[in-house]
Amino acid sequence: MSYLMLTGGRVVNSGGSVDADVLVRAGKIEAVGRLAALSIADIERIDCTGRLLLPGGVDVHTHLDAPMMGTTTSDDFATGTRAAACGGTTTLVDFAMQAPGETLLQSLENHRAKAHGRAVIDYGFHMCVTDLYDGATDEFAEIVESGVSSFKVFMAYRGTLMLHDGAMFEVLRKSSAVGGQVCVHAENGDIIDRLAADLIAAGRTGPGSHELSRPPSTEIEAVRRAIQIARMADSPLYFVHLSTEGAVEAVAEARAKDWAVAGETCTHYLTLDRSLYDAPGFEAAKVVLTPPLRTEEHRDALWRGLRAGTLGVVSSDHCPFCLEEKRRLGQDDFRAIPNGGPGVEHRLLVMYAEGVRKGRISLEKFVDLTATAPARQFGLSPAKGAIVRGADADIVVLDPHGSTTISAETQNQRMDYTPYEGWTLPGAIEAVYARGELVAQNGKYVGSEGRGRFLERSTL
Ligand code: URP
Ligand code: ZN
Ligand code: ZN
């Protein structure tokens, strides 16, 4: 069929919602409005009465097929993007890690090869800079010109990923000189390492100690330091995975001064409590992710930060390691448990349920945080993040009257657990279209293989 029309649904964009039909042709949105009466030959019509039509989710923080802490994340580009599609995410921006001994361009090329022909949704990359060798910043212009318009630096993990402040300053100023954006992992790595060593010395080797080694101040101090370093570098800044009230306050102060500081938080910081670290045995390893989960006080501050616009993006930080793999590496020492957890599949529905249905954010704000704003922030607009004429036909059909129960048994993420095990959420993602192709139906992938395209992202 040449045309597809989704009829009778409620189209939700970040700027407002309207009862409308959506006409799709050749992978693009051709029109949005009262179109059902139009007589068009060669058309497939899908009745979406009573359904919400949302822009496909844009998840700008994933780690697929990523080498990390002596292992590799369990989802590759085939499995991870299938899981994303089933959960309503039709675009992702994944972190390309710089491997030890490799140039940035070499590592980027290797990461491209992992995605090419395997990803089933459209994707872009951020380039992680973990070793600022001589000449590294000379490659920035080529990287940005190739459509990888953002970098990531780590203020934690000394000896593997962390850059010292001078190197971070250099990345910031050289990146902004070529129009790039820097994403910062803000935690004070040196203090974390000391606290972690103290815990091990005291015999507290289990996964619950992960949280104790990374108290809120380790994030807040690093956020404030990074803001000042970015000021000195005259560079914009984007904080990934913020988890604390103090970080929200620091970003709000900077933004009130009109400094170019943006921030994201992640689904799990908004919805999961630190008490999961008190679980018996090795169970707490499921939430050994960085920064750690926090208390309700911090969660409330994050939701407030989203409502106020201080934080503009909610990502998944999908960084999955099976529990067995975490145990193999970190059974005797929590410092060796690979940091990260799954989330790309459930980000949209968890945010819809915990945000919209619990009255914390409007439907339009939900769309903004999960699709429109991340697309804009990372140079993917206007093709991604909105249901408007001319955009890619990435559309989620959500039944607000349905419900979904999350379980490791039924998820598509290549994982042996989910931190949302047994959660029953209001809402069901019935169908997902990516560039006009039906790719997922009722939680099952039905699209073609390897259909995802690399997205060249523009600069800010
Ligand atoms: O725990 C996490 N998030 N690990 C992944 C790496 C990172 O810092 O994003
Ligand atoms: Zn990080
Ligand atoms: Zn991450």
Give residue-wise pLDDT tens across range 402-438: 999 999 999 999 999 999 999 999 999 999 999 999 9
Domains, the chain, in order of start with CATH, read 3-54+385-411+420-445 (2.30.40.10), 56-377 (3.20.20.140)
Q: Is 340 in the pocket of ligand 1 (CB under 6 A)?
A: yes
Which atom from ligand 1 is nearest to the alpha carbon of 185?
8
CA-CA distance, 18 to 369, in Å (whole number)?
19
Q: Provide the percentage of residues in the chain whose pLDDT is more than 90.
A: 99
Ligand 1 contacts CB of residue 211 (under 6 A): no
181 close to ligand 1 (CB < 6 Angstrom): no
Query: Which residue minimizes the CA distance to atom 9 of ligand 1?
Result: 317
Write the pLDDT tens digit of every residue in 45-80. Answer: 999 999 999 999 999 999 999 999 999 999 999 999
Average pLDDT over residues 359-384: 98
Q: Is the pLDDT of residue 1 over 90?
A: no
Mean pLDDT, residues 302-326 taken together: 98
pLDDT-based confidence at residue 200 (cuts at 50, 70, 90): very high
pLDDT of residue 380 exceeding 80, the answer is yes
Q: Residues 59, 341: contact at Cβ < 8 Å?
A: no
Strand, helix or coil at 181? Answer: strand
Cα(98) to centroid(ligand 1), Å: 15
- Once rounded to an integer, what is the mean pLDDT over residues 146-150? 98
Q: What is the DSSP string of 28-79?
A: EEEEEES-TT---SSEEEEE-TT-EEEEPEEEEEE-SS-EETTEE-S--HHH
State yes or no: pLDDT of 228 exceeds 80.
yes
Q: CB of 363 within 8 A of CB of 16?
A: no
Structure-token pair, residue 337: 């448990």
What's the whole-model pTM score?
0.98
- What is the atom index within ligand 1 of the atom nearest the CA of 154? 8
Q: Whose CA is nearest to atom 2 of ligand 1?
A: 340
State the pLDDT confidence band at 120, using cuts at 50, 70 and 90: very high
CA 47 to centroid of ligand 1, rounded, Å:
41
- Give the bridge partners for 458, in sequence order: none
Contact present, 454 and 92 (Cβ < 8 Å): no
Give the span between the Cα atoms of 300 and 207, in whole angstroms. 25
pLDDT at 275 over 90: yes
Regarding the beta carbon of 62 and ligand 1, being less than 6 Å apart is answered no
CA of 154 relative to ligand 2 center, distance in Å: 7
Give me the pLDDT at residue 342, please.
Answer: 98
Per-residue pLDDT averaged across 240-249, rounded? 99
Q: Is 362 exposed, middle or buried (0-12, 13-18, 19+ CB in 10 A)?
A: middle
What percentage of the chain reaches a pLDDT higher than 70?
A: 100
DSSP 318: B
Q: 191 exposed, middle or buried (CB, 10 Å; 0-12, 13-18, 19+)?
A: middle
Tokens representing 205 are: 């080797």
- What is the C-alpha separation between 120 and 255, in angstroms, rounded? 37
> How many CB atoms lie under 10 A from the CB of residue 276?
19
- Whether the pLDDT of residue 172 is over 90: the answer is yes
Mean pLDDT of the chain: 98
Query: Which of 1, 40, 48 has the alpha carbon at shortest distance from 22?
Result: 48
CA angle 325, 318, 329 (to 5 degrees): 15
Residue whose entry in the numeric block shows the structure tokens 């926090």: 294
d(CA 186, CA 174): 19
Number of alpha carbons in the 13 Å side-chain half-sphere of residue 374:
32
pLDDT tens-place string over residues 4-30: 999 999 999 999 999 999 999 999 999
At 460, the pLDDT band (50, 70, 90 cuts) reads confident
Q: State in Å: Cα 232 to ligand 1 middle.
A: 26
**Which pLDDT score is estimated for 331?**
98
Nearest CA-CA partner of 254 in 226, 274, 217, 277:
226
d(CA 349, CA 357): 10
